[in-house]
Amino acid sequence: MFATVVILSLFGLEIIDIYLGLFALELFITSEFTAPLGPAESRRRLAVGIVMIVIFIGAILKRIMFLLGITA
């Protein structure tokens, strides 16, 4: 995850939804490489992934509302 922050900061990107999306993607990819998890660890990984995706979807919806001129 640290590499993602460094690389995106080099490009000057300060949009949080890009970071959240890439972090969620990295979480799922790295968790598949470390697949031999017990049931408790698997549930925790799934819970963290769901929370990250919900936050990402919220950021995307906020961006869409901004682009459409809808204020909340």
Q: What pLDDT digit, counting tens, does each position of 43-63 carry?
A: 887 888 788 788 888 888 888
Q: Judge whether 22 and 8 are in contact, CB under 8 Å.
A: yes
Q: What is the overall mean pLDDT for the chain?
A: 77
- Please name which of 24, 58, 12 lies closest in space to residue 66, comparing C-alpha atoms: 58
Q: Which residue has the higher pLDDT, 35 or 58?
A: 58
pTM: 0.59
